[in-house]
Structure 1
Amino acid sequence: MIQLNDIKAVYFVGIGGIGMSALARFFNEKGVKVSGYDKTVTPLTSQLEAEGIAIHYSEEVELIPKDVQLVVYTPAIPKEHKEYQYYLQNGYSVVKRSDVLQIITQSSLNICVAGTHGKTTISTMTGHLLRHSGYGCNAFLGGIAVNYNSNFWASDNNVCVVEADEYDRSFHKLSPDVAVITAMDPDHLDIYGTAEAMEEAFIEFTRKIKPGGWLISKHGLKRYSDLVADNHITYHLNNTNGTVHATNLKVQNGSYVFDVVFGDWLLKDVLLNVGGLHNVENALAAIAVAHILKIDDEKIKAAVAAFKGVKRRFEYVIAPGEGEVVFVDDYAHHPEELRALITGARSLFGDKKLVLVFQPHLFTRTRDLADGFAASLDMADEVILLPIYPARELPIEGVTSELILNKMKLEKKAILTKEELLNSVKLKVDANSVFVTAGAGDIDALLQELKKTIEA
């Protein structure tokens, strides 16, 4: 296995991906020469370029550096990609992102957060708690922390907080000292085939926990008894059977105040300024990690109160009090994430009409989970579906957004193109509305135009 100290120059094929860019920032911070390819300019790639990383946007072998010791690629790129194939055929060390994380974390204390949803917020909260409290960590995140406008930061403390990705079984490369599992709902069935095979992958992940290590799992997980760890605790928003749970939960001025119970330990009057009841539950997992690491109680509370959230995780585009309409954007792309998003919005704005725009992500996910999407979306007052965002996939015959629409019981529902949405949004929202956009594709590119239309 290549050693980090041997790497003077590294190249990323798909550098604009959220996980890939965190690694690019890691190497850039270390003084390694970093460059890469991506197919489109995005705010993230522009930020990387501003940090001194060279990026090009056309697939050309003539443009790639030949003096690199390591090439990192994302599974999202097609296997026939010219640059990827050049490096493969010419004997370069070509590895996936998960292989690099394995190298980086082989000698550190590792906090690894896994699960089909919630892992980005919990890993970001955990990294923030460690950073804000002065404990210190290296953080490799799957989202942009609003506090720091980054998905990576470094520390002299040899501790890593890592978002552990279940896609392609990447998380099996990690060796956690503390592992978190948020959910094991069926997803990525294009990789796993069955829900059971996916559950087995999470069970295997727990076998990677170091001797004496900790597992923090969501209370009520299926296959709970098969999960393996020397120290195993559970968390839940309000089920007192969870080792860690919240009590005395109140909503105050759009924020949550609650007490945390962790066995015999009680942390009173925790303030969380991020919307969504699911984020209270996410905070419980992050607080449990901090307590296990023996971080001071008052430092934990101060860090939680200072947490500003993750971009596209219950993020206010128009916050309460800023305009007539509250506008929330979220990355939700799984039925359970949509359910949590809608429940969270209802908990804060239950008296308002909830209008939700959803862009399905992947043909396979839409096909496999159409019933679940329909049931979750029916919880809104009005739903607009955009066409499916294909990402890495080719179309599948008979799989369109209509597959979800036709299963929905809600009366107020429609499928619109992006252009039709921008032209009609003003008609659909008023002062008594919460407007929510959701999806993991490119729906976020519409946010500023939608905001202008709503505020006009």
Structure 2
Amino acid sequence: MNLKALKHIYFLGIGGIGMSAIARWFIANGYSLAGYDKTATPLTNALQAEGIPVHFSDDISLIPAEFLANKEETLIVYTPAIPKDHLEFNYLKDNGFTLMKRSQVLGLLTKSFFTIAVSGTHGKTTTSSMVSHILKNAGKNVTAFLGGITQNYGTNFLINESPEDVICVVEADEFDRSFLTLYPNLTIVTSTDADHLDIYGDHDQLLESFQLFVSQLKEGGKLYQRKGLNLASFTNNESTEYSLYEGDFYAENLRIENAEMIFDIVYPNGIIKDCTLLTPGFHNVENALAATAVALEVGLSPAEIKEGICTFGGVKRRFEYHIRSKKIVYIDDYAHHPTEIQAFLSSVKALYPQHKLTVVFQPHLFTRTRDFQEGFAESLSLADDLILLDIYPARELPIEGVTSDIIFNKVTSPSKTLCSKEAVLDLLKEKQPELIVSVGAGDIDTLIPKIKEWGLSL
């Protein structure tokens, strides 16, 4: 595929967080774009505001005529979430257009850059965003394809300022084995916990995918893995380990002051003292260790790294504060796996040890709920008061016997309630919580403005 021969790029599923980042790269580099998505979202609204035509009906006549008339100059980029009976997808495929998955296009785009790939079943969005900010804040020529909206830049895509000496930071997604299209210079692996078992079947298959991914490091590259992942033997390149309390990179003198985490970063050749995270969490301290390791590798000074860490504003829906008042603290997080929930809730409780913690959680996917019901129950039992919503189905059809009850019945919190999404606000008004978190990857984010408005009115 010669990208220089193309003029038109058409996206099926343009509103996805990864798809929209690639769309922004093409628009920034002078291509003509258009796209389809099932429903309008803040992301599609932003793309339309940037001049990209987007429609929401599966209708071949809505594809721009110049795209259809110039097959050799048009590339179709699609997400695996597009259903197989999609009219536009099948028309374009049957009429000989070039179709590529998002992951394949990302592989093409990153081939010509020095690439830092950040992978892992948890933590990759925050870590890749943190790496991008640290480098950009230090004046490096960065392009970045991210899986979340950064608070510092208000976007999931950063464009390089010149074509020379570009450092590309990419969030490497394990879903559907998408990251196997990448051949990075530096790779971070944050975690390899069992997930996406509807795709992989079992944990061993997922682990094999990560092993293949790290084997694709370019010669002379480096692997940075969280201690205990045991991936070093699958690459011929140098490997570095990090974790909260041990490894080549670890944290020291970690303390909490005014609900902020402050810590020193210890690495083989020195120490960076008194780093403060605007986005707290023990897991985010570990993410900062990984980001520090690659930043040192590409030539940043300890002072530049510290400034980057201390000014990193986080990512939307990742430990995102919405209210911090004397009456109520409200935080929202995208966590949707037991390990993520455990890390998030334990961090919140450490920051606010005197507060009763109320958790509103929406399970995501029937298969994930079924496969990890014990883990969900254990992690959610950290809540003093749990409000559990119905399962958000996303791409799945219901599974007989799989409902939120299978988690609810195992939760040991002193107070727990099954609740519809529509009834949450009334329940919160009744309970009057002092510390509330909303958690989940479905449409629970639609509750955020309502909870925030109520909380600010107290």
**Is the Cα contact below 8 Å between 2:77 and 2:99 reproduced in 1?**
yes
Hey, what does 1:195 align to over in structure 2? 203
1:448 partner letter: P
**Is the Cα contact below 8 Å between 2:359 and 2:438 reproduced in 1?**
yes
Distance 2:224 2:417 in 1: 40
Hey, what does 1:236 align to over in structure 2? 243
* TM-superposition CA deviations, 1:295-333 (whole Å, max 9, x none): 1221111111111100000000113xx351100000000
* Structure-1-length-normalised TM-score: 0.96
Q: State the SS of the aligned residue for 2:372.
A: helix
Distance 1:363 1:227 in 2: 33
* TM-superposition CA deviations, 1:370-419 (whole Å, max 9, x none): 11111100111111111111111111111111111122222311211111
Deviation of 1:274 after TM superposition, in Å, equals: 1.3
Aligned match of 1:317 in 319, 322, 330? Answer: 322
1:316-335 alignment runs, 5 A limit: 316-319=321-324, 322-335=325-338
Q: State the SS of the aligned residue for 1:143.
A: coil
The 10-residue stretch of structure 1 (285-294 or 265-274) with the greater mean CA deviation from structure 2? 265-274
Distance 1:135 1:347 in 2: 35
Q: State the SS of the aligned residue for 2:148.
A: strand
- The alignment status of 1:101 with 2:109, answered yes or no, reads no
* Structure-2-length-normalised TM-score: 0.95
The 10-residue stretch of structure 1 (404-413 or 193-202) with the greater mean CA deviation from structure 2? 404-413
Q: State the SS of the aligned residue for 1:371.
A: helix
Distance 1:429 1:276 in 2: 25
Distance 1:304 1:392 in 2: 36
- The alignment status of 1:84 with 2:89, answered yes or no, reads yes
Deviation of 1:14 after TM superposition, in Å, equals: 0.8
**Is the Cα contact below 8 Å between 1:426 and 1:454 reproduced in 2?**
no
1:375 partner letter: E
Q: State the SS of the aligned residue for 1:142.
A: coil
**Is the Cα contact below 8 Å between 2:232 and 2:239 reproduced in 1?**
no
**Is the Cα contact below 8 Å between 2:140 and 2:167 reproduced in 1?**
no
Change (3 A) 1:264 1:105: same
Unmatched tracts of structure 2, length 5 or more: 68-73
Distance 2:290 2:66 in 1: 43
* TM-superposition CA deviations, 1:80-133 (whole Å, max 9, x none): 111111111111111110010111011211100000000000000001111111
1:256 partner letter: M
- After TM superposition, the runs of 4+ consecutive aligned structure 1 residues lying more than 6 A away are none
Hey, what does 1:26 align to over in structure 2? 25
Distance 1:52 1:110 in 2: 29
Give the number of equivalent residue pairs. 448
Unmatched tracts of structure 1, length 5 or more: none
- The alignment status of 1:426 with 2:434, answered yes or no, reads no
Distance 1:218 1:67 in 2: 49
Hey, what does 1:10 align to over in structure 2? 9
Hey, what does 2:297 align to over in structure 1? 292
1:186 partner letter: A
Distance 1:283 1:7 in 2: 39
- The alignment status of 1:381 with 2:389, answered yes or no, reads no
Deviation of 1:7 after TM superposition, in Å, equals: 1.9
Distance 2:84 2:276 in 1: 47
**Is the Cα contact below 8 Å between 2:323 and 2:455 reproduced in 1?**
no
* TM-superposition CA deviations, 1:213-251 (whole Å, max 9, x none): 110001122x4454424110111012x2x1100101122
Hey, what does 2:70 align to over in structure 1? none
Deviation of 1:79 after TM superposition, in Å, equals: 1.2
- Provide the aligned C-alpha RMSD in A: 1.3
1:96 partner letter: K
**Is the Cα contact below 8 Å between 1:13 and 1:36 reproduced in 2?**
yes
* TM-superposition CA deviations, 1:257-293 (whole Å, max 9, x none): 2111111322122222212121111111111110111
1:296-375 alignment runs, 5 A limit: 296-319=301-324, 322-375=325-378
Hey, what does 1:454 align to over in structure 2? 455
